[in-house]
Amino acid sequence: MSGTTLIRKEVLLKIAANSKVEIMNNFESPSKTFGSNTFDDKVMREMLPKDVYNKLRDTIKKGQKLDLSIANAVAHAMKEWAMSKGVSHYTHWFQPQTGSTAEKHDAFLEYDENSVIERFRGSQLVQGEPDASSFPSGGARTTFEARGYTMWDPSSPAFIMEGPRGGILCIPSVFISYTGEALDKKTPLLRSMDTISKSALKILKLFGNNTATRVLTTIGTEQEYFLIDKAFYALRPDLMITGRTLIGAKPPKGQQMEDHYFGSIKERVLDFMQDAEAELYKLGVPAKTRHNEVAPHQYEIAPIFAEANVGADRNHIIMEVLKKTANRHGLALLLHEKPFAGVNGSGKHNNWSIADSEGNNLLDPGDTPEENLQFLVFLTAVLRAVYKHSSLLRMSIASSSNDHRLGANEAPPAIISVFLGEQLSKILNDIKEGKPSNATKQFIIDLGIDKLPSIMRDYTDRNRTSPFAFTGQKFEFRAIGSSASVSMANTVLSAAVADSLDLLHDEINDKVKGGMEFNAAVLQVIKKHIIETEPIRFEGNNYSEEWAKEAEKRGLPNIKRSAYAFDALKDKNNVEMLTRQGVFKPSEIEGRYNIKVEQYITSLEIEVETLNNLLKTHIIPCVISFKSQLLENIRNVKELGTTLPKDSAEPEMSILKKLNENLQLVIAGLSKLESSLAKASALNDHSKKAKFFADNIVDIMDEIRKPCDALEMIVPDDLWTLPKYEEMLFIM
């Protein structure tokens, strides 16, 4: 048959023949190579003059700006170190609002008289000036005023990304406009870390802790992803262009057997993972856990947690290294939230906590009654933050791709709620009812203070269905998409918690000033907010329909399509909180709103066009080929006439009928899609346009998919040009 058909078959045979793995056994223990490609403390100590080193160390520890007087010395040392590792170029590595990272390479190259030398100046280390006009700003800048600056974030170590002919020195940076507006995702994240630090320190002071100098936000991101053979990827334009399969019939065996989760890892995949981890170790990324996920060919990697900005950088590094390594291994890495319909999608669990500069986790109940009480203040602040600003959290995970996963019975729904576990819920209920907790044996710590409950330390309670769960010493925000940057989610979360900590602080302080005993004042304030925030707490199955109904009764929003979630950035309470906390300026919030809406529309437009092309150049021609085969058969039967039994063409006729029915549905769907698109493009208001896409076009695409997938089950396998689910998900 046609050439394309042959390609798919050839690819299948080739993959089957090539999937052998060479055993190399050249493993290096992580401790030997860890951080060898990072300009870390050890290198700095070795390479910098002592006074410069001390100043830089101070800058990093206190989260301050770099003292320009030492920049030249630091830049020189960095260059020498990088060149000793075969590096010729550097880049300010930053996170524009496109969702990925950006880099523009510059050589350490300068003219000195008539010869060329390698030089890297302090000013180049500290500040770069990329042409910012091509990065989204959401209207914050006009093109003629396109200057933007990247500035080194010294608290995240510079690193070398290895390349085929030498590496690139990457300098983690922020990206701001000429007028000082944040054009990136990192600047607001850093601001949120500062503000929560200040607010948390005030609470610590209330409790008599005067030694802590800073409070750190910590995050650990569990990254899910799919791997498929690159040859399949190359044959699926939808995967290549949109990241997901826009059509594809479900295989007879998907994940029903539940035999993939924590299953033994295939050698080809293990080879990939070990290779990627080796590179991550060199980059100072402490990759700790790897396992098979629920869906076939779905996996997870999780590093040990770090400070939020470093953790966010590392998550970007992880995604980049996985992508590069997959490519080297003839594999395609799929980071989309839902590459395969009907099969589990991928997310990114964001474990979040706060710790003081002495290393005490502030979401750890602690060992003494005072620590327990302090823990309850932080816990209540988180509850209030989520309760008051759940719409911001929903916004922070919003994208057209994550819409396919949220609420699709393997991921938390779009309803934001908090899971605390039985013990903690009981304690909060006791406080609410003002009764002393009758300490059972399960409560390990007896508080001994009258009226105060005891808190169990070791949390084994798990509720995998909750979008925001307390998992002992940390909260786990599970609704972030696998392809997303974690910056926005952590920024709004930390800002909202800081805002609640401020309020709790002031309320406690007022009561104490009014003469109330400290513990009593704290309890009274906590009690008020426990009652206030009760609707946000949910301990049951978040995937169930009953929860959706119950949540509605409680007045919790259930925003299924992201086009509506962006509105949180227009909400007065949210804007006031974010600006009060100094995390965003109003113009920056507006810019982000515009960018998110535009990105939503654009990604759907791309999907529509890709679907259109797939249907017209793959599906419809395949169906027509089969149709002509059938018609020829029918004609042959008719020509033979009476020599054959009367109903000889009946089977062909009935297949033809089904074929036609589905084909007509596809074509009708296409024209519906076209007329809807025309309506959409007539809308000038981009917010209305995004909502129009959400309310109309997304559903039409789903509708078209049904007859397509039915056709895939009717058309002969050797006529079907696109790799099928069972091939992509089971052959490697």
Residue 361 within binding range of ligand ADP, rule CB under 6 A: yes
Q: Which does 89 bind (CB under 5 to 8 A by kind): Mg ion, ligand ADP, none?
A: none
- Based on CB atoms, which residue is closest to Mg ion, 191 or 260? 260
* Minimal distance, residue 350 CB to ligand ADP, in Å: 8
With CB atoms as reference, the residue minimizing the distance to ligand ADP is 220
Contacting Mg ion within 297-356 (CB under 5 A): 349
* Minimal distance, residue 491 CB to ligand ADP, in Å: 16
Given the rule CB under 6 A, which of 425-433, 467-475, 480-488, 522-530 is the region that contacts ligand ADP? 467-475
Bridging pattern class, strands 89-93 and 168-177: parallel
Q: Which does 486 bind (CB under 5 to 8 A by kind): ligand ADP, Mg ion, none?
A: none
Among 141, 268, 394, 474, binds ligand ADP (CB under 6 A): 474
Q: Specify which residues 173 forms β-bridges with.
A: 152
Contacting ligand ADP within 638-697 (CB under 6 A): none
Among 38, 150, 197, 353, binds ligand ADP (CB under 6 A): 353
- Based on CB atoms, which residue is closest to ligand ADP, 352 or 725? 352
* Minimal distance, residue 302 CB to ligand ADP, in Å: 4
Contacting ligand ADP within 288-317 (CB under 6 A): 289, 302-305
Q: Specify which residues 171 forms β-bridges with.
A: 92
* Minimal distance, residue 221 CB to Mg ion, in Å: 10
In angstroms, rounded to a whole number, what is the distance separating the alpha carbons of residues 80 and 630?
72
CA contacts within 13 A on the Cβ side of 555? 5
In angstroms, rounded to a whole number, what is the distance separating the alpha carbons of residues 671 and 674?
5
- Based on CB atoms, which residue is closest to Mg ion, 438 or 541? 541
* Minimal distance, residue 220 CB to Mg ion, in Å: 9
In angstroms, rounded to a whole number, what is the distance separating the alpha carbons of residues 227 and 233?
10
DSSP labels, 65-119: PPPGGGHHHHHHHHHHHHHTTT--EEEEEB-BTTSS-B---EESEEEETTEEEE-
DSSP labels, 672-727: HHHHHHHHHHT---HHHHHHHIIIIIHHHHHHHHHHHHHHHTTS-GGG--SPPHHH
One-letter amino acid at 695 equals D
Contacting Mg ion within 349-388 (CB under 5 A): 349
Q: Cβ distance 557 to 391 under 8 Å?
A: yes
Segment 438-446 long-range contacts (CB within 8 Å, at least 24 positions apart): 445/365, 445/367, 445/372
* Minimal distance, residue 255 CB to Mg ion, in Å: 19
* Minimal distance, residue 727 CB to ligand ADP, in Å: 31
* Minimal distance, residue 216 CB to ligand ADP, in Å: 9
CA distances (Å), 654 to each of 647, 648, 650, in order? 11, 11, 6
From the list 363, 434, 59, the residue with the least C-alpha distance to 217 is 363
- Based on CB atoms, which residue is closest to Mg ion, 349 or 404? 349
What's the gap between Cα 730 and its chain centre? 26
* Minimal distance, residue 473 CB to ligand ADP, in Å: 5
* Minimal distance, residue 2 CB to ligand ADP, in Å: 48
- Based on CB atoms, which residue is closest to Mg ion, 349 or 394? 349
Tokens matching residue 349: 């669990």
In angstroms, rounded to a whole number, what is the distance separating the alpha carbons of residues 98 and 136?
7
- Based on CB atoms, which residue is closest to Mg ion, 53 or 477? 477
- Based on CB atoms, which residue is closest to ligand ADP, 289 or 675? 289
Contacting ligand ADP within 78-117 (CB under 6 A): none
Q: By CB under 5 A, how many residues form the interface with Mg ion?
A: 1
Q: Which does 618 bind (CB under 5 to 8 A by kind): ligand ADP, Mg ion, none?
A: none
CB atoms within 10 A of CB 159: 25
Q: By CB under 6 A, how many residues form the interface with ligand ADP?
A: 16
From the list 443, 341, 193, the residue with the least C-alpha distance to 702 is 341
Contacting ligand ADP within 200-239 (CB under 6 A): 218-220, 222
The residues that touch ligand ADP, with contacts defined as CB under 6 A, are 218-220, 222, 289, 302-305, 351-353, 361, 471, 473-474
The residues that touch Mg ion, with contacts defined as CB under 5 A, are 349
